[in-house]
Amino acid sequence: MGAKSHVASGMILLILSSGLSGCLSNGSPDDSINLVEAPLVGPVDERECFEFDNKERCWLLHIPETATYEFCLSNSCPLLVDVHGRTSTAEHQYNLSDYPRITDQHNAILVHPEGIDNRFNIGWCCGDENDVGFILELIDKIIHDRRADVGRVYLTGWSNGCYMSNELASVASHKVAAVACMAGYTDEPLATNYSAIPVMEIHGIADQIVPYGSSFTTGVLLEGTLEGDEGAIQNMYWWADANGCPGSAPDIETVEWDYTVMRFSGCTNGADVVLVTMNYAQHNPYINDYDGTDSPFYQAILTGNPTGIDASQMAWDFLSQHSKSVE
C-alpha cells in the first residue's frame, strides 16, 4: 500500500505499547435529556438486549461501583467496547480479557457485544449481519443511558473481534478515540471520511489460527483467507500509511526477552501506530486461558501467554491516554 508496505514485507518480529496525548474531550450527550440513574451497590454485571434489524441483539455490560449516572454526568467515564472472537460469547470474552480489574479503577464502563451465531461480520468473513451498525447503535445507547464520555470511546477485542475493531476504526473514526486489539488485522479499504486515530495491535509469534506473518487462516475460527500481504507487521505499516505517519520504519521502543514494541509516532492527529509482538504467545495473548472450548487441540493453542505479560493492561494503558473532541 505504498513505500511502507515494501519495507514491511522484509521485517520480522517487534513491538509494545505506550501512550500519547490527543485532544481533550469536550463532548457530552444532550444535557436536556432526562435520564434515570440506575443506583449501584458494588460493581454491576448486566445482560441487556434491544431489537436491531428485526433481531434481538444482546451484550454484557459491566458498570463499576463508582460510575453512577451522577458521577459520570460530572466526570469522565470512558467506554471500553471489548468484542469477542468467533465461536466465543460475551461471557467468554469477559472472563478471558478480565478488564474489570483494570477498568473499575478508572470509572470506565465496559461492554461486550455479542454476535449472531457467535461471530461478527467483517466483510469477507463471518455472516451477513450489520454488526457495524449494531455496535455503533450500542455505543450511542450507553452514552445516552449511562453518560459515558463521548470523547473517550475505546475499542478492543480478540481475533474476529479485533478485525471488527479495525473495521469500526475505519468507518467510525468520528466516534472512536483509539483502538487496541489482539490477534487480528485490518482487511477493508478505509472509509472516505476516515480521520486518523491511534491504533495498537498485540499479536503472538506462535499464533496458529491467525498467523503473525501471513494472511492465511485455518478456516476454523475464521472463514476463508485474506488476499495480499496481511500479517501483524504489514498491518502496522497499513495503519501507518493511513495515519500519515512519517518515516519508512517504526521506532523500536522496547526489546525484552519475551516481547518487543514498535511504534510509528508523529502521525496525523497524534495518532500513533503500535505493534506489540509477544514472542511466546499463541492465538491467545491474554493472561487467562480461554475456557470456551472442550477440544483438547484448541485448549492447547488457546492457553494464555506463558510469560505473564498483561495484554489487557498494555492495551488499556495505550487507549486511556487518548481522547478526542466530539461536537
Q: Which residues contact 76 (CB under 8 A, 6 or more apart)?
A: 25, 107, 149, 151, 152, 323
Higher-scoring residue by pLDDT: 29, 62:
62
Is 118:292 a contact under the CB 8 Å cutoff? no
Domain architecture of the chain: domains with CATH: 3-319 (3.40.50.1820)
- Confidence class for position 229, pLDDT limits 50, 70, 90: low
Kindly tell me if the per-residue pLDDT of 180 is higher than 80: yes
- Give the model confidence (pLDDT) of 264-322 as tens digits: 999 999 999 999 999 999 999 999 999 888 888 788 889 999 999 999 999 999 999 99
Q: What is the predicted pLDDT for the residue at 155?
A: 98
Q: How far apart are alpha carbons 249 and 263 in whole angstroms?
A: 9
Task: Provide the whole-model pTM.
Answer: 0.85
Q: How far apart are alpha carbons 196 and 264 in whole angstroms?
A: 13
- Give the model confidence (pLDDT) of 152-179 as tens digits: 999 999 999 999 999 999 999 999 999 9
Kindly tell me if the per-residue pLDDT of 28 is higher than 60: no
Q: How far apart are alpha carbons 194 and 197 in whole angstroms?
A: 9
- Give the model confidence (pLDDT) of 117-150 as tens digits: 988 988 778 878 999 999 999 999 999 999 999 9
- Confidence class for position 327, pLDDT limits 50, 70, 90: low
- Give the model confidence (pLDDT) of 75-91 as tens digits: 999 999 999 998 889 99
Reference 151, options 24, 35, 32; nearest CA is 24
Write phi, then psi, for 31 (nearest 5 degrees). -70, -10
Q: How far apart are alpha carbons 297 and 289 in whole angstroms?
A: 13
Reference 196, options 177, 217, 213, 210; nearest CA is 177
